[in-house]
Amino acid sequence: MKIYYSDIHRRHNPPFEVFDGGQRAPYLETPDRIDKILTALGKTDWADITEPADFGLDPILAVHDPGYINFLATAWDEWIACQPASDSMPDNPVLLPATFALRRHPHKPASLLGRAGYYIMDLSACIVAGTYEAALASANCALSGAKFIAGNRINTSPLANRPSTAFALCRPPGHHAGKDYAAGYCFINNAAVAANWLSGKGRVALLDIDYHACNGTQDIFYDRSDVLTVSLHGDPNFEYPYYAGYPDETGAGDGINFHYNYPLPSGVGDSAYITTLEKALDIILDFSPKFLVVSVGMDIYKNDPLGKFNVSNKGIQGIGNHISKLGLPTLVVMEGGYDNRTLGKNIVAFLASFDRP
């Protein structure tokens, strides 16, 4: 299996984030997450780890607002040039706004901190010196995987004529990033960029199985019928991102009935999760896509610090088995998952289903 990975992700390593209630905490979305996955993949006999190609900005600008991407590209240098007072510029500075724009057609201010509040949704989307470069490399991993599944099939026995699969080991993740905002550790929506690129070659289904609702992906494809989006996630009445992921959000305009949300209660285990997944997969089959993109988050695992499901490693393997049986060219895109002790094992359990006859 092709695994697309770039070491550039290490340039994005914020020293802290701000939790609910204003608590400053160590950043959970760390390079160590990816190291754990790489170690686990290295113990398999099927992982072919490959550097991504550079696709330039055009595929990214096809789904993201140019002003937003320009903000990501320039914000850090502008922040440093502002030379904030020494007591607010520690050894490891982070660009975070203190005010946020309510999305009711707000004006975009000229000041950096004003624009930061306009383009950033929360206090986990921290910008540091290497954030933009890491986000670009992450998107290129997803695009490289998309190109691979669009042009390759596995031809060796016993997998003759089986659709190909690729895994984009993306960091930073992407599914909370909307058309013109960063959120939830996400800056460029890797899965959406890849799905949009694939949509030029045929219909695409995008299945999100991260614990948290894919508000950014929903934002990007909400009025489109060529990319079906389906998300299983913790109930946003009680879980981040709170303001998206409800069952009545089914699309708009041409996209009506091409977006499905399945919010699930706290404590959902293997059986109940897979029962809901089967409903989602039936919808995907009815859509008859040419390609499948899966935003995979291991924060569905029972011990994850940011999730409240009770899905086991065996359940994760079962989820992979069910999805792989769709028999579609599939791009798996890494999203969340913060129990680093089990992250690699869980990803391998999920991916292994796609490598088997």
DSSP string, 158-224: TSTTEEPEEEE--SS--TT-BTTBBBTTBSS-HHHHHHHHHHTSS-EEEEE-SSS--HHHHHHHTT-
Catalytic choice (12, 64, 175, 176): 176
Could you tell me what percentage of the chain is helix, strand and coil, using 3-state DSSP and rounding each to the nearest 5?
40, 15, 45
Amino acid letter, 309? F
Max Cα-Cα span within the chain? 64
**Residue 176 annotated as catalytic:** yes
CB 132 within 8 A of CB 320: no
Rounded Cα distance, 197 and 54, in Å: 14
Amino acid letter, 263? P
Main-chain phi, psi angles of 2, to 5 degrees: -75, 125
Rounded Cα distance, 163 and 192, in Å: 21
Rounded Cα distance, 10 and 81, in Å: 23
CB 188 within 8 A of CB 181: no
Which residues in 198-337 belong to E strands, given as ranges? 204-208, 227-234, 259-264, 291-296, 330-334
Helix (H, G, I), strand (E, B) or coil at 332: strand
β-strands 48-50, 2-4: how paired?
A: parallel
Rounded Cα distance, 150 and 163, in Å: 9
CB 169 within 8 A of CB 37: yes
CB 341 within 8 A of CB 32: no
CB 324 within 8 A of CB 19: no
CB 174 within 8 A of CB 136: no
Active site residues: 176
